Amino acid sequence: MRLERHAFADASGPYLAVGASLFWGGWGCLHDRDRFERNLAFLSGSVDYIRVLGVVGPKGWRDRAALASDLEAAVPCVTDLAYQHGLRTQWTIFGSVDTASTPEERAALMRRFAAAIRPRIEKVQLVEVANEAWQNGFAGEAGRREARELARLLRELTPVATIAITAPQPGDETTGIKSWYEGSDATVVTIHPDRDQRGADGKWRPVRQLCNASAATRLPWIANEPIGPQSSVAEDADPLRLTMAAGLTWLCGGAAYTLHTGAGVRGGGAEDRARARVANLWEVPNINRILSGIDALRRILPADLPNFTLRDPTRDAEYPFEAEPIRQQIAVKKFVAAYAATSSDGRFVMMAIGLTGDLTLTARAVAHATVFDPLTSATVESRELRPGATLTVSSRSAAVIVGRR
């Protein structure tokens, strides 16, 4: 597993990566293996990797804790079993520091993790030092220095090519990424997108916000813990919005989109039962439509889309359609956003979200354009365009256009 510029790639080349939260995997593999494996089987064929916490709890995780003492058993159990189901693993080593309370203990745990993961590197998607480190044991400048040192230690001890430190606080990506990542050995940034659904964009706001990450860092990045069904703070189980969230991640230069659900946190632990979260992924509201929508969308998108150049019609002259009519339609709130991405070979992709009426596009050059329904990958319209010709996307909440000049 490696990164080709901003896209994940393996022996078959670049691809649009999709993951799923399964934080409780370490506990599940050791203490509820049959159910853990049934969740893996459910995800197999729909996503590429699972995100698992290496050590977490017992505070807040009293019946789902992954203890430091269990690390040597949990790492091979999860990593090998997931791979048998066609899934790689993203290890987030420190979900908390309850059972590794000093820097010395954490450095020792990193060495133990490295020894356990080294023989199974091909089964690893990426390794992240800590989950939201700023609130889980690595506060302040001393905590940031320690986290960067742990990333350096991981780089020194293993051939893992994709290493992240942590996700900065939502809404503070530019400053946060600099403070956590500058001068580090990390090769990819994890982003926890803002889930706030207030404001003019409403429920589409967390989807649009994904494109902010591209301006915050030059490193490859992933949408690591976005809004999802039964997520904390705010939730969204709408298949179209979550499908478009995956699409905008790739369009805006993100290497991977991680589907985050309530069932992926503690898998039915006491704290999650108190929040009325379901225990298993197949019980998540709309989960089959969400997974099928994301799968349909990535079938119609270029595999190297994260390496395209993002184009914003409000400020970019290289937008693939005439930008001024788009700006006029944004001004009268006909849609929330219509980002595009272009490649040097003439390929382009455009995604429009939050449409309240027809969207009219005016061609800037000779091009072929195909309008797709993102949830089904069905072709809505496909034709050649001459400069000045218009293409009207009939009223729908979101649309994807794939083309070539």
Return the DSSP state at 288.
Answer: H
pLDDT value, residue 146: 98
pLDDT band of residue 187 (cuts 50, 70, 90) is very high
Helix axes 140-157, 173-181, angle to 10 degrees: 60
- For residue range 274-310, what is the model confidence (pLDDT) as tens digits? 999 999 999 999 999 999 999 999 999 999 999 999 9
Would you state the structure tokens that stand for residue 319, as one six-digit string?
A: 């937008």
The residues with which 347 forms a beta bridge, in sequence order, are: 404
The residues with which 341 forms a beta bridge, in sequence order, are: 310, 349
Please give the average per-residue pLDDT across 139-151, as a whole number.
97
pLDDT value, residue 395: 65
The pairing of beta strand 347-353 with beta strand 337-342: antiparallel
CB 203 within 8 A of CB 236: yes
- For residue range 339-354, what is the model confidence (pLDDT) as tens digits? 999 999 999 999 999 9
The pTM score is 0.96
Give CA–CA dist 77/214, Å, rounded: 35
User: Is the CATH number of domain 308-404 2.40.160?
Assistant: no
The pairing of beta strand 49-55 with beta strand 390-393: unpaired
CB 362 within 8 A of CB 321: yes
- The full set of domain ranges for the chain reads 2-306, 308-404
- For residue range 52-81, what is the model confidence (pLDDT) as tens digits? 999 999 999 999 999 999 999 999 999 999
8 pLDDT more than 70 = yes
CB 393 within 8 A of CB 358: yes
Please give the average per-residue pLDDT across 205-210, as a whole number.
93
Mean pLDDT of the chain: 95
Q: What kind and span of H or E run contains 154?
A: helix 140-157
pLDDT band of residue 199 (cuts 50, 70, 90) is confident
Please give the average per-residue pLDDT across 220-230, as a whole number.
97
Q: Kindly calculate the radius of gyration of the chain based on its CA atoms and give it in whole angstroms.
A: 21
Of the chain, the percentage scoring pLDDT greater than 70 comes to 100
pLDDT value, residue 7: 97
pLDDT band of residue 170 (cuts 50, 70, 90) is confident
* CATH of segment(s) 2-306: 3.20.20.80
